[in-house]
Structure 1
Amino acid sequence: MNTPLPIHPLHGGQLDVYAHHYAIPKNQWLDLSTGINPNGYPQVSIPDSVFRDLPSDDDGLQQVACDYYGSDQILMVPGSSWAIQYLPTVLQNLVVPIKKVLLPQLGYSEHERAWRALGAQIEFYDDLPSVTQLQTCQVCVLINPNNPSTHLVPAEGVVKIAQQLQQQSAWLIVDEAFVDSRPHNSVIHNRGENVIVLRSLGKFFGLAGLRVGAIIANDKVLQVSKQMLSPWALNHPARFIAKKALQDKQWIEHTQTGLKKQSQTLLATCEQSLLKHLKIPVTINHTDFFVTLFLDSTMESLTLHHCLCKQGIYTRLLDNQKGIRIGLPNNSRETWQHLARGFMQAAHNFQKDISNVYA
């Protein structure tokens, strides 16, 4: 098929939808849509008892997580998305009715969906909330680094925001799903009582399918959150693998170094094989997990996304349809060559397609 997909999935993944639409076998695609580390934590041998026995809270995962994150105020949950979904209710049970919540204009959409479900008034900010906004809200959500804009607020800046919010007993939620490759940017070690930090094993560890995350917060938040968890909320295999991953210091250090190198290769490949051949203004930002291209118009973004799909390169069209996010491919010479060729052909096709649109 040569027409763009009319309706795109809400999130990355779901490659079957694109494979069917473009009539390209699934095994011929480069799926760069999620921002997940493609070279994630390796498979481990799991004893039969892990599949047979019910999970136990005293299996050592809690202590391992405390050691890794550097805090003893932690609740392990079934993915940081669980925390995003339920924290509005948790905070509503702890404070006066929440009227206004600050969210980044461009960010992970599940935050907005969760707060709208609560009926809160949403007010957006660009990279940073203003002083006036901080003075009039009950909750501020900061995605750090931001997905997909890549904007990062230094730890001292996050602390300053938290202190401003503390003056009117407001809360700061910091989503640190992409911070593991540069843990010095985390605010966990100087977290105030009004700060809630969310972490995930899905991105850095590449274990999104396990659905394991963590809430780091004060005891009241953790107590109410724990009451909302169902029994055995984290399945036994997930707990077993998470424990192994979080204490594997050698793998963690090796991966932190590797992601930095791979992200630079992705950035250079985008610049040399894609942007160099596009005759339109494009702004490119990057993190250790993905690059984001910002284009001037929806039509340009949709056309570029479509041209990449025709080459079997699946990227994430931004929610506002003003750009695309490109995750890391598998780190092999063949894959990088495949990506470079696909980029160049997509850029060539883009020039023809966009010329027809504006003709």
Structure 2
Amino acid sequence: MRHGGDLSEAIARYGGTEQDWMDLSTGINPHAYPTAGHLAQADWASLPTSKAESDLIAAARRAYEVPSHLAMVAAPGTQALISQLPYLVERTTVATLSPTYASHEESWASAGHTVMKAPSLEHLPQAARVAVVVNPNNPTGTLYGSEALLATAQQLSARGGLLIVDEAFADCLEKASLLPHLTDLPVVVLRSFGKFYGLAGLRLGFMIGSHPLCEAMKERLGTWAVSGPALKIGTAALGDDIWRREMRNKLVAGAHRLEKLVASCGMVREGGTPLFSLISGVDAEALHAHLAAQHIWTRHFDYSKTWLRLGRPASEPHWQRLETALTSYKP
């Protein structure tokens, strides 16, 4: 599996229709932000406006606590930013904290950079001028504090380098973001909108960093990079403090529930975030196949035979289906 979320692969291998399947293969919030009432027909018929983009950036600045001296770019999903960012940096040696989201390594390698893997911040290769950290990490959930990240940024700055922090899952953890602590160090932060707000199909993400880098990214993305509906819904969602606070609590409760369920089945929760859990100590392919036979799609990894990642069930019937499937598994 290269990524989670592709039910066409599940259906091709195990049958059924999309309605039959419960997709737990991603870390996307199953409780999506309500979009009803936010769009008019004209929003679909008109080109995106500069004011709508400015409104979105203002809402994102406030929600993410972005320092005023940093620039922001809105993009059609963080995947677009991940693929374009390596072309804004002269070819060099890049370290990715691994295992992690594979697209980072793939994108830097495709752009001609030398890519090395590091197990932690403390073990960054001396040759690396750029470091990529997913924080909290996917799939392990490892979370580095601001002091450790800023020390790494200082270290890279002395080499004329850059720290890139992918905070795709930071929304679901209060005070997990590095953004409020940034000063003038060479740091780029990526934020994903669709995961926490459950609107991955909207395709919206942000890059925060120095003005020159952000201007260069805007040029690469081109005019009208983000659709009008995405601008409008993103502005409304990012401005909804009550929904954000309540959803964090709801997701944390779901994480605790899944941890208890996994433990009751004799399995171990290795790590994760409120949006996904990583199970360890199992035959991952066998458990993945067992769940798939019952039309529950999960994420296993080619680099680990014992890790399986589970997202969050969307409803009580889905929780019951998952519990029945897990308890019926016989290693």
Considering the TM-score relative to the shorter chain, is it more than 0.5? yes
Q: In the alignment, is the contact (CA less than 8 A) between 2:162 and 2:186 conserved in 1? A: yes
- Alpha carbons of 1:58 and 1:152: their partners in 2 closer, same or farther (altered >3 Å)? same
Residue of structure 2 equivalent to 1:293: 279
Structure 1 regions of 5+ residues with no counterpart?
A: 1-7, 93-97, 276-281, 352-359
The 8 Å contact of residues 44 and 241 in structure 1, kept in 2 or not, is answered as: no
Q: Render the CA deviation track for 1:312-344: whole Å, top value 9, x for unaligned.
A: 2110112414321100111x3322111100111
Q: Of 297, 300, 303, which aligns to 1:320?
A: 303
What is the rounded CA distance, in whole Å, between the counterparts of 2:298 and 2:224 in structure 1?
35
| Identical-pair percentage | 32
| C-alpha contact 1:146 1:152 (8 A) present in aligned 2 | yes
Which structure has the bigger radius of gyration? Answer: 1
Cross-structure match for 1:5: none
Distance 1:319 1:139 in 2: 26
Q: How does 1:228-243 map to 2 (within 5 A)?
A: 228-243=220-235
Matches within 5 A, 1:185-204: 185-191=176-182, 192-204=184-196
For residues 49 and 283 of structure 1, the distance between their equivalents in structure 2, rounded to whole angstroms, comes to: 47
Q: Does 1:244 align with 2:230?
A: no
Q: 1:139 aligns with which of 130, 142, 153?
A: 130
Distance 1:14 1:292 in 2: 19
Pair 283,126 (structure 1): closer, same or farther in 2 beyond 3 Å: farther
Alpha-carbon RMSD: 1.6
Distance in 1 between residues matched to 2:191 and 2:83, nearest whole Å: 14
Residue 325 of structure 2: aligned partner: 342
Which residue matches 1:64? Answer: 59
The alignment status of 1:159 with 2:150, answered yes or no, reads yes
CA change 1:115–1:158 in 2 (3 A) is same
The one-letter amino acid paired with 1:119 is G
In structure 2, the residue matched to 1:106 is 99
One-letter identity of the residue aligned with 2:273: T
Q: Does 1:179 align with 2:162?
A: no
Q: What is the TM-score when the length of structure 2 is the normalising length?
A: 0.93
Contact 2:173–2:248, Cα closer than 8 Å, also in 1? yes
The letter for the 1-side match of 2:134 is I
Aligned pair partner of 1:81 in 79, 82, 94: 79
Aligned partner of 1:326: which letter? L
**Which residue does the alignment assign to 1:3?**
none
Residue 30 of structure 2: which of 24, 38, 55 is its match?
A: 38
Q: Using the TM superposition, give the Cα deviation of residue 269 of structure 1 relative to its aligned residue in structure 2, in angstroms.
A: 1.4
**TM-score, normalised by the number of residues in structure 1:** 0.86
Please say if residues 165 and 187 of structure 2, whose CA atoms lie closer than 8 Å, have aligned partners that are also in contact. Answer: yes
**What is the alpha-carbon distance in structure 2 between the residues aligned to residue 284 and residue 67 of structure 1?**
33
What corresponds to 1:206 in structure 2? 198
Q: What's the CA shift string for 1:203-232, capped at 9, x where partnerless?
A: 111111111001110111111111111211
8 Å contact 1:302–1:321 — kept in the other structure?
no
Give distance in 2, aligned partners of 1:16 and 1:128.
37
Q: Distance in 1 between matches of 2:64 and 2:141?
A: 22
Of 217, 220, 223, 1:225 maps to 217
Using the alignment, how far apart are the partners of 1:195 and 1:155 within structure 2?
12
Deviation at 1:270, TM superposition (A): 1.7
Distance 1:75 1:274, change over 3 A: same
Give the counterpart letter for 2:175 in structure 1. H
Decide whether aligned partners of structure 1 residues 48 and 11 sit closer, same or farther in structure 2, where only a CA change above 3 A counts.
same
Q: Which amino acid in the other structure matches residue 127 of structure 1?
A: S
